[in-house]
Amino acid sequence: MNTDTLSYNELKAHYIAVRQRLGGLGKPAGLVPIQAVKSLPKQEPEPVQEPEVVWRIDGLPNNNFARFLRQVAEKHNIDPKILMSNDRRKNIVMIRREVIWGAHKTLNYSQSQIARWLKKDHTSINHAVKMWEKQHNVGA
């Protein structure tokens, strides 16, 4: 039906008829009667499986670097957020260097990327890599 050429009264009658059909007052419009819906047996919703919670570290994308950081933190039994902090205790610095060296050498992340994620200067990352290699006699 083209509603562009209908007069006001025809248009009004058309909309009244539509409202009656949709409201169940006129001819059935293919809708399910309310009584039929009420008589359906209630189905228990399927239990929702909770996704495995990954400990999200603020400021880090959920990538291999974040996974590696969490693995090293778990290995040393510390909170991964401490490694991202400015904590300068010797044991924390050594663990942070381990993360930096591993991410740079084994995961092939650039020093700039690592610096951005750890909120450090790229020269600090360069120094950490050199110090790790010097201390562990690796690739000097």
Helix (H) / strand (E) element for 12: namely helix 8-22
Span 46-73, pLDDT tens digits: 776 655 544 456 666 667 888 888 899 9
Contact 140, 133 (CB under 8 A): yes
User: What is residue 80's predicted lDDT score, i.e. its pLDDT?
Assistant: 87
Closest CA to 26 of 39, 8, 13: 13
**What's the mean pLDDT in 78-96?**
90
Model confidence band, residue 8 (pLDDT cutoffs 50, 70, 90): confident
Contact 103, 68 (CB under 8 A): yes
* 128 vs 96: CA distance, rounded Å: 8
User: What is residue 124's predicted lDDT score, i.e. its pLDDT?
Assistant: 92
User: What is residue 90's predicted lDDT score, i.e. its pLDDT?
Assistant: 92
- Could you tell me how many residues make up the chain? 140
Please check the confidence at residue 32 and state whether its pLDDT lies above 60. no
Closest CA to 16 of 50, 120, 8, 98: 8
CATH 3.40.250.10 for domain 64-136? no
Contact 98, 86 (CB under 8 A): no
Residue 126 CB coordination number (10 Å): 15
Span 105-140, pLDDT tens digits: 888 899 998 998 888 899 999 999 999 999 988 765
Contacts of 38 (CB under 8 A, 6+ apart): none
Residue 109 burial class via C-beta count within 10 angstroms: exposed 0-12, middle 13-18, buried 19 and up: buried
What 8-state DSSP symbol labels residue 110? Answer: -
Domain boundaries, the chain: 8-38, 64-136
